[in-house]
Amino acid sequence: MNKITIAKLNALIERYNEEGAMTVRRCYYVLLSKGLIKETNSAYGTLSKLLVKARVEGDLPWRVIIDNSRNIIRRPTYSSFEESFEETEEYFKLNSMEQQDNYIEVWVEKDTASAGISTITYPLDIPLVVARGFSSATYVKNAVDRFMKIEKPIHIIYISDFDPEGNYFPELFKTQLKERFNFAAEITITKLSLTKQDIEENNLVWIPIKWKSKKSEEKQMQKAYFREYIEANGMRKVELDAMAGNILSEKLQVALRELIDFNIVQKNEELSKECLEEWKKENLKEVKE
């Protein structure tokens, strides 16, 4: 193994110790920011192959890399009713969001970032929506159906790349709610990250905006929001994967402190346990051996 490869693997292990498991895309940006690889058309594919080889040969621990894009879907089965009940019991929680003054959802553009964010939203009963860029009409309609049931201020915290689509989404989403679905209730949509401030404070790496064809370039440049972005930032963007997951998580926690009463969450945990124990007393008979 040459010195450059060793330096790359050591840099990834060092970063893993700071922020935990990373996607391959995140590893790419870690090495890019340290000057250990260059931004080329083949760089990402070459790195992906290197990381596979390094893990198979034992030079890089498997735990360093996480893949959130592939899931196994199957029906849950159990060896007994008791086992099934124990799992259900473990996950029983009353919804603390119902008791909050605000209704909150966190929307993230990329599934690769959802794992770290979910460690923040899950315990707080905050829905985490993986939007995957501009959402489909069905996706937006499903959101409207949820919002129609809410009778308190609605807040959406949006997390995406710093690029034309990511910056324009909050405005587009509010427009779609009103014009396409006639949803008139006020919704606050806040772009949490990435922002210009994030890029400057964390020295995040810019990469060029690339086109599949000249025709696709011309089509995009006809859009006002796209032209405005290019005029302000040039033909470049910063991907969400460029930002360390732990920094993003800390930023989200700070934003949520302005909207959530954490005491309600704690009391809800205690009340959930009390409700469960009460139900068990009333409904479960002692098993006699």
Output the pLDDT for position 61. Answer: 94
Report the Cα–Cα distance between both ends of the chain, in Å, rounded: 62
**What pLDDT, on the 0 to 100 scale, is given for residue 8?**
93
Q: Give me the percent of the chain exceeding a pLDDT of 70.
A: 97
Q: What is the pLDDT of residue 182?
A: 87
Instruction: Please name the amino acid found at residue 273.
Output: K
Contact (CB, 8 A) for 230 and 164: yes
pTM comes to 0.84
Query: Residue 126: how many CA atoms within 13 Å on its side-chain side?
Result: 31
**pLDDT of amino acid 289:** 41
Longest CA pairwise span in the chain (Å): 77
The pLDDT tens digits for 14-57 are: 999 988 898 899 999 999 999 999 988 888 999 999 999 999 99
pLDDT (0 to 100) of residue 85 = 83
CA dihedral 174, 179, 185, 191 (to 10 degrees): 0
Q: How confident is the model over 111-139, as pLDDT tens digits?
A: 878 888 999 999 999 999 988 766 677 88
Percent of the chain with pLDDT over 90: 58
Residue 70, pLDDT > 90, answer no
Amino acid at 256: L
* Dist CA 9 CA 52 (whole Å): 12
